[in-house]
Chain A
Amino acid sequence: MTATTPTPPASPAAPASSTSPAWKGSSPLLQIRVLTARSMRSLATDPGVILFGLLQPVVILFVLTQVFSKMGPPPHFPAGVSYLDYVLPAVLVDNAIQAAVQSGVGLVDDLKNGIVARLRSLPIAPSSLLVARSMTNLARSTVQAVVIMVLAIGVLGYSPRGGPAEVAASVGLTLFMSWALGWAFIAAGAWLRRAEPMQNLALVAVLPLMFVSSAYVPVADLPAWLAAVAQVNPLTHAIDATRALALDIPGAGAVLPAMVISGVVAIVSAALAAVGFRRPM
């Protein structure tokens, strides 16, 4: 026997049988299920969370449609489309971004809450919590999108040219983008471990970015320098793709690139998140 290299004890079952682990451990799938149920519970018991998330998209929806519906359409506005029909896809994208930011904020909450310290001491895959966070926020953005659609159709009379299937596809696209962007914010949360930078970003960056995009006015109707910014603003492309689906107007070619880019963002961010999350507290 080599004296220099300590070898692990011969029998892993050395502990007395009365104190051997009571349970066999859980699969990653079960871990994700249990942890998703956990974070969903705070969503269910705290409806304020969803209401708060709906605030910005819904206020914008009502304010803009009320303000601009009385004004004539700008020169490059698509023909035969009401302002409500035009702006709703942008509201859905706004909702997607807000929910995505909340993915990161939720993770930071978990880190502060103490539960993460507990989970680290358990024989589970740490990234289960990240996936659970992501699933929870997908559920959250879905609920919010449904509320927005119900308000838009029921109260404001949203009736886009695309049929129910096209409208559902447009909602689905924003949910997919929300899920993907959510991973970026989960990665940010795992590295920064503070919610303020993300919340500030959502507050300070998202609103101007929405205005400097095709969200509320066609890009061609923006002043030249704003139009130039809007052209490279990824939000423009996300909104155009969503809008093309819902309104059944040209531009659906942007859907596939939007999905591919979202997918890449999700994969890269998830990897970064897993690495960042593994760092000790």
Chain B
Amino acid sequence: MITPAASPRPNGDIAIEAQEVTKVFGAVRALDRVSLSVRRGTVLALLGHNGAGKTTLVGVLTAAVPPTSGRAYVAGFDVARKPREIRRRIGLTGQFASVDGQLSGRDNLILIARLLGAGRKAAAARADDLLELFALTDVAARRARTYSGGLRRRLDLAAGLVGHPEVVFLDEPTTGLDPSSRLALWEIVENLVAEGTTVLLTTQYLDEADRLADSIAVLSSGALIAGGTAAELKARVGRRTVVVTLDGAHTAAVAAEALRRASMEPVAGPDTGVIVVPIDASKDIAAVVRALDHAGVEAEELSFREPSLDDVYLTLAGHRPHPARLVQGADA
């Protein structure tokens, strides 16, 4: 799915294509030569932590943010040249619900349909269809600002679908939702895809990517560091991990150094003082313990995990040209 060197132009089977897209904001390289392509009717999950560049990439692909260099095509149109054609064919749901709180849910949908060129009757009919699809009929007449977070998000997603978009962008669609709303949203996405819609969703949740996506692209500090199906990614890392929790950054740096000397490849964990160590077999846990013991480091907690997307992400992010700060801090 993720092709490092993209073909000169997308063919009809490709709904989203980015070719070496770079975006620089002042001194910040928000996107660094990102190339990817998404086949029509499939779901790509863009995985990354806050600030990884997910929203910027969505901005570029929805013709809202002009790329500094590189090209991108959505639904067959160049984002730089045909923004309006793209906007006619995409639906966008942002991290923050983009609906008019002053208007009722129904009027929000009618407004969008009217702006897309629907007549009054057609707009109302489309609004009612979507309200039913998203189980919003009961609250349709209420002002959107009185909606709960889950209702608002559903309305926002409905708003993105008014124009029957062929490509839908969901920027962290389930952030801040309760588990049942999350599940409901996942089902909606699955139905969309079943109807042939192409979906690009960004997420920090690995289970979400695992559940919904045909392919996953991992974004870190603006660069794509891995891509493939969930299974491929797991296979690529293919290792179980030991998570070592230490009492601070300094101890962690000492421990990381000791583990490296023992020919292991420790990477920084999600929190300060946490190290993730990929291992080949269960018996290697002993090697981790021995190495720590040898260095005189006492771990506060030591746990063993089967490979998960979380580890995939951490391992890959740790293997970037710029090593994670904690491990690098050992020598600095």
Residues of A near any B CB (own CB < 8 A): 3, 6-9, 11-12, 14-16, 18-26, 30-31, 34-35, 38, 41-42, 45, 113-124, 280
Contact = CB atoms under 8 A, between A and B. Distances in A.
B266 interface: no
11 contacts: A6-B8, A9-B77, A22-B118, A25-B84, A34-B114, A42-B102, A114-B99, A117-B94, A118-B159, A120-B64, A121-B92
B111 interface: yes
A25 B85 CA distance: 10
Given A8-B81, A25-B117, A124-B115, A113 B76 contact: no
Contacts of B76: 8-9, 11-12, 14-15
B78 interface: yes
Contact of A121 (B98, B113, B118): B98
B75 A15 contact: yes
A22 B159 CA distance: 14
Interface of B: 8-12, 19, 40, 59, 62, 64-65, 71, 73, 75-78, 81-82, 84-85, 87-92, 94, 96-103, 107, 111-118, 122, 126, 159-160, 163-166, 196-197
B116 A41 contact: no
A19 B71 CA distance: 24
B196 A121 contact: no
A3 B77 contact: no
Nearest to B64: A120
Contacts of B160: 121
Given A9-B9, A114-B97, A23 B113 contact: yes
Interface of A is mostly: loop
B188 to A, nearest CB: 17
Nearest to B117: A23
Nearest to B75: A15
A22 B98 CA distance: 22
B11 to A, nearest CB: 7
Contacts of B88: 21, 25, 123
A124 B112 CA distance: 10
A26 B117 contact: yes
Contacts of B94: 117
B280 to A, nearest CB: 43
Contact of B111 (A9, A22, A34, A120): A34
Interface of B is mostly: loop
B196 A38 contact: no
A42 B9 CA distance: 47
Contacts of A113: 100-102
Given A11-B76, A19-B164, A26-B114, A118 B98 contact: yes
Given A15-B89, A19-B164, A24-B117, A8 B78 contact: yes
Given A6-B19, A22-B118, A41-B102, A12 B85 contact: yes
B163 A23 contact: yes
A38 B100 contact: yes
Contact of A6 (B9, B100, B117, B159): B9
Given A3-B8, A7-B9, A121-B64, A23 B118 contact: yes
Nearest to B197: A19
Contacts of B163: 21-23
Given A8-B81, A8-B82, A22-B118, A118 B99 contact: yes
B102 A121 contact: no
Contact of B116 (A6, A25, A115): A25
Which 10 residue pairs are nearest across A and B when measured between Cβ atoms? A23-B117, A118-B98, A19-B166, A117-B98, A123-B87, A121-B92, A115-B100, A9-B76, A114-B98, A42-B102
B116 A123 contact: yes
A20 B11 CA distance: 17
A41 B165 CA distance: 28
B73 A114 contact: no
Contacts of B75: 14-15
A106 to B, nearest CB: 11
B112 A118 contact: yes
Contacts of A23: 113, 116-118, 122, 163
B115 A31 contact: yes
Contacts of A34: 111, 114-115
Nearest to A128: B115
B100 A280 contact: no
Kindly name the residue among A16, A42, A113, A115 whose own CB sees the greatest number of chain B CB atoms within 10 A. Answer: A115
Contacts of A41: 102-103, 107
A164 B8 CA distance: 71
Contacts of A12: 76-77, 82, 85
